[in-house]
Amino acid sequence: MPPYRIVFVCLGNICRSPVAEVVMRSLVADTQLGDRVEVASAGTAEWHVGKRADSRSLDVLSRNGYDGSAHRARQFEPSWFDDYDLVLALDRSNLADLLALAAPEHRDKVRLLMSFDPSAGVTDVPDPYYGGTDGFDHALALIEGACRGVLHHVAAQTAR
């Protein structure tokens, strides 16, 4: 059986989506899903392609026991809809951009990350780029909660 493939998508792929990728990779590695799930991230814009994650993202990850040092930003390509089982947008703007790129048969693969944690009471992971460290801490907390929900979803999908 091919691996279940997930890609997290934000605007520039230097703040939120790399954090989500690293968190999800860690959760997958801590379970028995490690050999059945692949995780990636990308941005809808090309501004930061090839660059490392924002230093504040790397800092919040490091302070919380994660390692995001290997990340390099990529831009989401429409052809990736064929390759990924779940395309997770970090906010409604990213969701709209992804749905505009998706052929009708792929639109059901695209979801908001926060839909996997309804108890959080928010739809979007706010973009912390123009704020301070507290915005990155808040984004990480939201992402961790939602990624636990994604893990449960993926476990159910891969058990079939």
Fold of 4-158: Rossmann fold (3.40.50)
Contacts of 159 by beta carbon, 8 Å cutoff, 6+ apart: none
**Which among 15, 16, 56, 147 is annotated as catalytic?**
16
Any idea where the domains of the chain sit in the sequence?
4-158
For the question of whether the overall pTM of this predicted structure is more than 0.85, the answer is yes
Cβ atoms of 71 and 35 closer than 8 Å: no
- Residue range 104-133, pLDDT digits in tens: 999 999 999 999 999 999 999 999 999 999
**Which among 56, 97, 127, 147 is annotated as catalytic?**
127
Assess whether 10 carries a catalytic annotation. Answer: yes
Output phi, psi for 136, to 5 deg: -75, -35
Assess whether 127 carries a catalytic annotation. Answer: yes
**Nearest one of 73, 108, 104, 72 to 87, comparing CA atoms:** 108
- Residue range 9-43, pLDDT digits in tens: 999 999 999 999 999 999 999 998 988 999 999 99
Query: Is the confidence at residue 160, as pLDDT, over 70?
Result: no
Assess whether 147 carries a catalytic annotation. Answer: no
